Amino acid sequence: MNTILNYLLNEKQMTEIVATKMEQKVSKYEDIRKEFEFWIENKVFNPENPLVVGDYTAQDIHNLAPFMDGLGVFNFMVTLRDDPAKAKEYIDGGFKRK
Amino acid sequence: MNENFDTNFESSIGTNSIEIFEPNVDFVPLDDMAVVELPLSEQELSELMGEVEALELQPFEELEPIQEVPIDYGMVFDGLDYYDFDGKDVNQNTEQLNSLLDGFTEDNWSNFELNDQKEQIAGLYDYVNDVLGLENPPNIEYYNEQEEGNYGGYNSATNTLSINEYMLHDSKEAADTVAHELWHAYQHERAANPQSPKDFQYQHGFDNYIRPSDDFDMYQTQLVEAEARAFADQIKNALAQIRRA
């Protein structure tokens, strides 16, 4: 079992269905996946030459949305890369949670 | 019958005398013995056969075929193209709704104290609850978490609708949150006793719920959230019309 799937199933206690979906998304791009694996190992965002997607580093996203943990931040980086307009809507809308 | 069998057996073999009659059989305590059905007598067998022949069996072809309704579990994560809200019409009494929403217009809302705002929320809650016909309406509770974007939630375990006082500065979001969370209560009632394919989708959705902290986009897109937003949008739109008027 790979590092990410192991983390999602055992540490985050996700169902297999959700863990598989999350793993597929966050592993979509190698650069994002590697930074997420670094976060899983160290529980901090990579401080040296961090990846930038749409002007945002992982730490920037976490500052915008402190309720997100590493998985949420790196999945949001995938959303930023795939659909920047939608990601901007979420940022401008203040990440409404109900 | 079991009691008689045990008594007869014990009296026929005597205490600790089993080896004499069956030297190759291990002794089994009476309490652990299984009940053995004795063969039927010819007369009993004949009577049973007669009963079977007398039965009027329905031919297999005449049985109603079981209708299998496909359930698209993929939609649980993608949402639907259209929501009919199971015929629950939030505009069932437009006059009453508009009167309630009048309290949520910016001018009125900004002049209310916190307790007055909670009264407005209670009025809207009663109306939406009436529209949904919930069997077990949730309790409302308030909390104060100074965190932007955190409006409220519904806890199915305690059947509680929670609203963050900190976010009550925005009246349209306050109204939206009441409708949104009550729709979650409705979804949970349906999922607890699923009757339709959508009820099963709710059930699957709650079993595999995606939290906003894990993936904000998938959280927004999943059926239970997309539908709750669409339901509450009707309230927001009605409020916007009152503002324009």
Could you please report the per-residue DSSP string of A10-79? IIS---HHHHHHHHHHHTSSHHHHHHHHHHHHHSS---SS---BTTB-HHHHHHH-TT--HHHHHHHHHH
Q: Give tens-digit pLDDT for A24-49.
A: 999 999 999 999 999 999 999 999 99
- In chain B, the number of structural domains is 2
Residues B24 and B112 both lie in one domain? no
Q: Tell me whether residues B208 and A18 touch, CB distance under 8 A.
A: yes
Both tokens of A76, joined, read 């949001």
Q: Tell me whether residues B217 and A22 touch, CB distance under 8 A.
A: no
Q: How far apart are CA A29 and CA A31, in angstroms?
A: 6
Q: CB of B228 within 8 Å of any CB in chain A?
A: yes
How many angstroms separate the most distant Cα atoms in chain A? Answer: 38
Q: CB of A28 within 8 Å of any CB in chain B?
A: no
Q: Which residues partner with B116 through β-bridges?
A: none
Q: CB of B27 within 8 Å of any CB in chain A?
A: no
Which residue matches tokens 């997420």?
A36
pLDDT of residue B1: 40
In a domain, B61, yes or no: no
Residues B123 and B188 both lie in one domain? yes
Percent of chain B scoring above 70 in pLDDT: 81
Residues B115 and B174 both lie in one domain? yes
pLDDT of residue B3: 39
Which residue matches tokens 């199971």?
B86
Q: CB of A94 within 8 Å of any CB in chain B?
A: yes
In a domain, B62, yes or no: no
Q: How far apart are CA A33 and CA A27, in angstroms?
A: 5
Residues of A with Cβ-Cβ distance to B210 under 8 angstroms = 18, 21
Dihedral angle at the C-alpha atoms of B117, B118, B122, B127, nearest 10 degrees?
Answer: 30
First-to-last alpha carbon distance for chain A, in angstroms, is 34
Please compute the mean of the pLDDT values over residues A14-28 and round it to a whole number: 98
In a domain, B59, yes or no: no
Chain A 67-86, residues with CB within 8 Å of chain B CB atoms = 67-69, 71-72, 75-76, 79, 83, 86
Q: Tell me whether residues B213 and A69 touch, CB distance under 8 A.
A: yes
Residues B197 and B110 both lie in one domain? yes
pLDDT of residue B10: 41
- Cβ proximity of B77 and A21 under 8 Å: yes
Residues B40 and B92 both lie in one domain? no
Residues B111 and B145 both lie in one domain? yes
Percent of chain A scoring above 70 in pLDDT: 100
Q: Tell me whether residues B149 and A18 touch, CB distance under 8 A.
A: no
pTM confidence score: 0.81
In a domain, B167, yes or no: yes
Residues of B with Cβ-Cβ distance to A68 under 8 angstroms = 212-214, 216
In a domain, B63, yes or no: no
What letter represents residue B56's amino acid? E
In a domain, B21, yes or no: yes
Interface predicted TM-score (ipTM) over 0.95:
yes
Range of the domain at B43: 2-54
Residues B132 and B168 both lie in one domain? yes
In a domain, B60, yes or no: no
Report angle CA A74, A79, A84 to the nearest 5 degrees. 130
Residues B205 and B235 both lie in one domain? yes
Which residue matches tokens 């979804």?
B187
Residues of chain B with pLDDT under 50: 1-23
Share the mean pLDDT of chain B: 87
**Tally of residues, chain B:** 245
Both tokens of B37, joined, read 């059905």
Residues B44 and B84 both lie in one domain? no
Residues B100 and B207 both lie in one domain? yes
In a domain, B19, yes or no: yes
pLDDT of residue B30: 58
Q: CB of B221 within 8 Å of any CB in chain A?
A: no
Residues B195 and B232 both lie in one domain? yes
Residues B37 and B101 both lie in one domain? no
Q: Tell me whether residues B216 and A94 touch, CB distance under 8 A.
A: no
- Cβ proximity of A63 and A45 under 8 Å: no
Q: CB of A17 within 8 Å of any CB in chain B?
A: yes
Q: CB of B183 within 8 Å of any CB in chain A?
A: no
Q: Tell me whether residues B216 and A95 touch, CB distance under 8 A.
A: yes
